Structure 1
Amino acid sequence: MGVIYWIFFAISIIGILSMTLAFFKMLTHFSAKEELEVSTEGLSLIVPIKGADETTFDNLKVLVDSDIQSSVEYLFAMETEDDPAYRVCKAVKKSAKDKDIKIILTGESEELMGKQHNIKVAVQNATYDIIGSMDADVNVDSNALKTGLKSLNSDDVGIVYFLPYYSGTGTLGGGLLSTYINYFYNIIFSYLHFFAKAPTVIGALWMMPKELFKKCEADGRLVGTVSDDRELGFASAEWGYKNIFIPKTVMMPHENLSLQEGINHLGKWFGMVRAEGIAVYILFVLMWNPLLYASVLLLAALCMGSGEYLNTSIILFISVFLLRAINIIVLNTSIYKMPASTNLLMTIAYDLIFFPILFFINLFKPTIEWKGKIYKLGKQGKIISID
């Protein structure tokens, strides 16, 4: 029992160190001052969209009202006119008649996920040499597009992308999404980017040369995979380009989801990690939830009734709890610009309750469900079948 205890203790310490390194690197990265420059490059900005909610109109309106001197065309891409997003996009176009807005009907996707399909068809209609993609639930500030274009200032730059976060509080399901993205995924991603040099990009808002995208498409990198972000990022790096992590956030409004809807939504993201292989999926737990391990050790020490183990476990639990709380508070105030205690309790509940449940549910689950379709996945997120 003693050996097992100290193995779990070591895993907790590794998790603490990894999380702390990533946390401080994030703070350093986002402390860089933004230097705005005028770019003369034109931009074809694609919004792949399916469905609409109460925030969609505002998100798209803010986007087309961006403060940018370059020529920009906005391509709203959806499968059919029957999509609720079609009416919303028409309303945005009507409200911004001075903007170059095109609504593109892409037809039903048969081999790609809907987002990838919509982007692929929209690129065929893109006018400019630089393309970008923004998720419809993203709300950008007026300088975001300008910042992205400025970052594509060298021939060796492949993809530039922003860090997304969820703002505000509300429903339990939306809180789960906020917790996962803001205080779990973003920290993991920062570690992978800065220390593991992983070339994966984040798909909330990115920009890249159209020529590079078409090269990825011609090489088959977008066909039959569940993660276009992964494939684009890896392909860009393999061909010698740099992927630039812009020190700027883009906000996503809190999603009004029930607890079950939030769990289902997170199941998709856990499933995509699981598709990378069982080793990666297990590492996903081993390194990135030290609070869970500290709690397990504390419960084990209480059950054993050992004073030595109990004292060590209490110190470890209190230390990890305080570190996690500090992470949340500092990220909220310095990067996400939210009140300090936002999602604090939900994050603790996620670490101790929802994370292990989601992990085990998806451990042997070969499918993910998204936008009404079920995708059976193989290695590295390759799509085996769509139902």
Structure 2
Amino acid sequence: MRDTYLFTSESVSEGHPDKVADQISDAVVDLFIGRDPEARVACETLVTTNRIVLAGEVRCRDGVTPTIDDIEQAARETVKKIGYEQHGFHWQYADFACHLHGQSAHIAMGVDESGNKDEGAGDQGIMFGYATDETPDLMPATLYYSHRILERLAADRHSGAAPFLEPDAKSQVTLAYEKEMPVRATALVVSTQHAKGADQAMLRDYVKAIFAEIMPEGWLPGDDSIFVNPTGLFEIGGPDGDAGLTGRKIIVDTYGGAAPHGGGAFSGKDPTKVDRSAAYVSRYLAKNIVAAGLARRATIQLSYAIGIAEPLSLYVDLHGTEQDGVSAARLEEILPQLVRLTPKGIRTHLGLNKPIYLPTAAYGHFGRKAEGDLFTWEKTDLVDQLKQAF
């Protein structure tokens, strides 16, 4: 790594059109898995001016399959919770169309257990997990602060503390790194949708105060490197200003560009899809490695073939930050002994066959607090076993 450099990550709010789509798709996943833990869901959502469109494949046990009305209600309630009651996009009045259909029998044949055949992966693909000691959550600092800024704006909007805010927003944080650790911000950006006629100077002062609260003391850049709604007005936003699609914010969902990303999105997919479950277990393993003090940074890659249970490969990269006596090759031997890395093994270990996915669909799937059934892949319960292995 270079001794000094700048790095940038962005985040988007729950009201960003792509995140609206992600949340609707995950609300559908939760709806189906809540009825049948073995349900299969691959739900894509399109949102645009007063229109919500669902497409994809589903499978559920007879007698508990959600109806179209159930699905529509889940979608509208999700939009209502986000806070869209605008002329151009309203939870109650937007047109709704559902084009979900049954799962392909050929895909089901590869995934399902039968006879001596273990449950196979729902698709081929590569998945990555990452952890770094830059923050207490073991996440890249640029993304960590980008998320926290928007979470604070959303909290103020929902509470009424900032009634001039509307749901759509984006943030961007650029940090200076020295000796691989962040030391200060060199640029901060927020673009937020606002009520018609909102005072721009007041809005800028409000966002600057949020920056000062969220960023560590002494990290704020000068005024000429703080940008709040740099285009000017931002009254038309959300799906009315720009169409949203499931799966278009995968870097926001993961590590802000600080680590590789596999080919697939997470939202809208049940946990037999390794795009989701294997990315979660990769983060879990990487986080436990760093939490155990074996390395300051860790990247893990898994790969799968559709219908095959065991991963085709497991790769560990410690980026030259490992402690004496620790090796990536040894970890590649140890990790499959701690967690069985088949789709079923991952789901069982992390408890993924539950309606836990809607909370993941905004402000990142990683770096969140493990509470009960939620964000189990953020637990550090392998630390002792990893330490003992070395």
TM over 0.5: no
Structure-2-length-normalised TM-score: 0.26
Give 1 or 2: higher strand fraction.
2
Q: Structure with the greater relative contact order (CA < 8 A, sep ≥ 6): 1 or 2?
A: 2
Structure-1-length-normalised TM-score: 0.26
